[in-house]
Amino acid sequence: MSNSPLEVHMFPCLEDNYCYLLHDEDTGATAVIDTPDVPAIEQALKSRGWQLTHILNTHHHWDHAGGNLELKQKTGCTIVGPKAEKDRIPGIDIAVGDGDSFDLGQHTAQVFDTPGHTSGHIVYHFEKDGVAFVGDTLFSMGCGRLFEGTPEQMWHSLSKLLVWPDNTLLYCAHEYTLSNARFAASIDPGNTQLAARIEEVERLRANRQATIPTTVGLEKKTNPFLRPDDPGIRKLLAMPDANDTAVFAEIRRRKDSF
Ligand code: ZN
Ligand code: FE
């Protein structure tokens, strides 16, 4: 039996969300990552000729789980979502958390708890396929706002992603890259790779092109939230001897009022 690659179809919806269809040609299994916009998802499915079999939720916010019940009712799909938010996400059939895995056809996702943005947020890492869906935990050059978690929790959550291979493709849920880039430049002005990335994303956004996916390697070099150990950033923040969590917390605090 041949193994078809995991196909990822990405499309923008709502104001600044990205939504993703995943498809395994061999079995026909098709998942959507979160349900921000039912008509947009239906149109994307139709354009591909795919039948929805699964919803994979990252967290309970309306722009991630708001379309769950309508899609489930229309397609009979199975809803997979975070154990820790199973009472806040409509229609969950399979609740998953840290250490669990989920098979979409012949493709396996490892599930990681990444509390911080919400208390039960999870991400899906298809390790063999080299792709991960990180919801509102990590953005290009940014990270999710801490609505339900502490900086300590979020830093621990982000650390789980940093050990994945550098070429892992990271698909996040929003196009926030340009505003994140402007903040990143204020925190890490001496970073030449960041400056180059900013030029690239300015060009992409001027042409209304997506800046996503990013990669683990690129984020490690350019995302200030992943660089609390950087001497230049520590100097700028006047926190030369603080621990990484404290530096991360200060960067997050500054971003909130940027
Ligand atoms: Zn959210
Ligand atoms: Fe969101």
C-alpha R_g of the chain: 18
Q: Is residue 128 part of a domain?
A: yes
With vertex at residue 140, the alpha carbon angle to CA 135 and CA 146, rounded to the nearest 5 degrees, is 55
* % of the chain at pLDDT higher than 70: 99
Are 56 and 134 within one domain? yes
Contacts with 70 (C-beta within 8 Å, 6 or more apart), sequence order? 35, 38
138 CA to centre of ligand 2 in angstroms: 11
Are 113 and 201 within one domain? no
51 CA to centre of ligand 1 in angstroms: 26
Domain final position from 145, 172, 199: 172
Please identify which residue in the block is written with the tokens 């990590």: 138
Are 198 and 241 within one domain? yes
Are 201 and 101 within one domain? no
Q: Is residue 1 part of a domain?
A: no
Hey, which residues are catalytic here?
A: 59, 61, 63-64, 117, 136, 174
Are 46 and 115 within one domain? yes
Are 142 and 208 within one domain? no
Domain of 66?
Answer: 7-172
Are 36 and 95 within one domain? yes
Q: Is residue 34 part of a domain?
A: yes
Q: Mean pLDDT, to the nearest integer, of 121-135?
A: 98
| Ligand number nearest to the C-alpha of 173 | 2
Contact 75, 46 (CB under 8 A): no
Are 159 and 55 within one domain? yes
254 CA to centre of ligand 2 in angstroms: 20
Q: Is residue 2 part of a domain?
A: no
Mean of per-residue pLDDT scores for the chain: 97
241 CA to centre of ligand 1 in angstroms: 32
Residue 1 has pLDDT above 80, yes or no: no
137 CA to centre of ligand 2 in angstroms: 9
Are 15 and 137 within one domain? yes
- Check residue 119 and give its pLDDT: 98
Is the preceding peptide bond at 151 cis, omega within 30 degrees of 0?
Answer: no
63 CA to centre of ligand 1 in angstroms: 7
Taking only the tens place, the pLDDT of each residue in 189-242 is 999 999 999 999 999 999 999 999 999 999 999 999 999 999 999 999 999 999
Report the CATH number that the domain containing residue 125 is assigned in CATH.
3.60.15.10
Domain final position from 153, 172, 191: 172
Are 70 and 97 within one domain? yes
Tokens of 59: 């967290």
Confidence grade of residue 3 (pLDDT, cut at 50, 70, 90): confident
CB neighbour burial string for 70-97, b if at least 16 within 10 angstroms, e if fewer? bbbeebebbbbbbbbbbebbbbbeebbe
Tell me how many domains the chain contains: 2
Give the strand pairing for 30-33 and 54-56: parallel
* Residues at Cβ < 5 Å from ligand 2 ion: 63, 136, 173
Residue type for position 231:
P
Q: Is residue 110 part of a domain?
A: yes
Residue 17 has pLDDT above 60, yes or no: yes
26 CA to centre of ligand 1 in angstroms: 32
Domain final position from 157, 172, 187: 172
Are 167 and 183 within one domain? no
- Cβ neighbours around 210 below 10 Å, total: 15
Taking only the tens place, the pLDDT of each residue in 37-75 is 999 999 999 999 999 999 999 999 999 999 999 999 999
Are 93 and 219 within one domain? no
Q: Is residue 249 part of a domain?
A: yes
Residue 82: name the closest of 64, 60, 63 by CA.
60
- Check residue 2 and give its pLDDT: 58
Q: Is residue 70 part of a domain?
A: yes
